[in-house]
Amino acid sequence: MEKREQLYEGKAKQVYKTDDPQLLIVSYKDDATAFNGLKKGTITGKGVINNQMSNRLMQRLEKGGVPTHYVQELSDRETLVKRVTIVPLEVIVRNIAAGSFSKRYGVEEGTPFAQPTVEYSYKNDDLGDPLLNSDHALALKLATPEELALIRKYALAVNEQLKAFWTSCNVTLVDFKLEFGRLEDGSIVLADEISPDTCRLWDSATGEKLDKDRFRRDMGGVEDAYQEIMRRLTSHNEKE
Ligand code: UDP
């Protein structure tokens, strides 16, 4: 697949056109940002890990009945994906209170929920990705009622599958963010990435953070945490 001109450069990825108008190439960078771009840095090796992890997990989800944009891993950092129009929603699923939920509602980090909590933010950097509910999303015409219902169903299915997978790697899936897109025919697929940048992943035994919170909170050992989580995923895949 021929890589053509760059279409877009985001905080953590570059996106290129290909000779097929319905396929794009995503290239993962080591750049890290937090707090809407206020904090910037580099996590050496992150691009390779996020590319490989996201691809492994998307292939699993696809088998489990969740359609994704994934097509083919091209190299360490590059993947061929289906072209989508991104639905401008950040879909967050939480199993345990952490981060902005803990702060907003005054709930101690680590408090488990009786059932998963789905939350939406409006994907809009200028507004700082404000929290919104599904009525707000409909009022803003970000998605149709049918699309919102499907997105919620897929998000909960992703949670069940990933929770079980990470448990078998001795990792607790605390929360994560998903993005969905529309293919040319209008169907909804899971897009963007699933990685330690977009998930909170804690060692099940020790509670040690194995994700981007180590970068956000200046905890050190960021590269080691990314390597460790990738090692757990790889050794699980080898056992199958
Ligand atoms: N998240 C993300 N991108 C964002 C905001 C959140 O990937 O722009 C992920 C984050 O890594 C965590 C989950 O979504 O796994 C919930 O994040 P939260 O709302 O607690 O926000 P934060 O505390 O990271 O600001």
Q: What is 3-82's CATH number, 3.90.850.10, 3.30.450.40, 3.20.20.70, 3.30.200.20?
A: 3.30.200.20
The amino acid present at 17, given as its one-letter code, is K
Which residue's CA is the nearest one to ligand 1's atom 25?
100
Closest to 71 in 3D by CA, of 60, 59, 61, 85: 59
The answer to whether residues 137 and 54 touch, using CB atoms and an 8 Å cutoff, is: no
Distance 131 CA to ligand 1 centre (A): 12
Residues sharing a CB contact under 8 Å with residue 190, sequence separation 6 or more, in sequence order? 58, 61, 66, 67, 68, 69, 154, 158, 178, 179, 180
Choose one of 46, 105, 175 to mutate for the ligand 1 pocket test, by most ligand atoms within 8 angstroms of C-beta.
Answer: 175
Domain spans in the chain, listed from the N-terminal domain onward: 3-82, 85-239
0.85 cut: is pTM over it?
A: yes
* Contact 92 CB / ligand 1 (< 6 Å): yes
Q: Taking the domain 85-239, which CATH number applies? A: 3.30.470.20
* Contact 199 CB / ligand 1 (< 6 Å): yes
Per-residue pLDDT of the chain (240 residues; tens, 9 = 90+): 788 999 999 999 999 999 999 999 999 999 999 998 999 999 999 999 999 999 999 999 999 999 999 999 999 999 999 999 999 999 999 999 999 999 999 999 999 999 999 999 999 999 999 999 999 999 999 999 999 999 999 999 999 999 999 999 999 999 999 999 999 999 999 999 999 999 999 999 999 999 999 999 999 999 999 999 999 999 987 777
Distance 1 CA to ligand 1 centre (A): 33
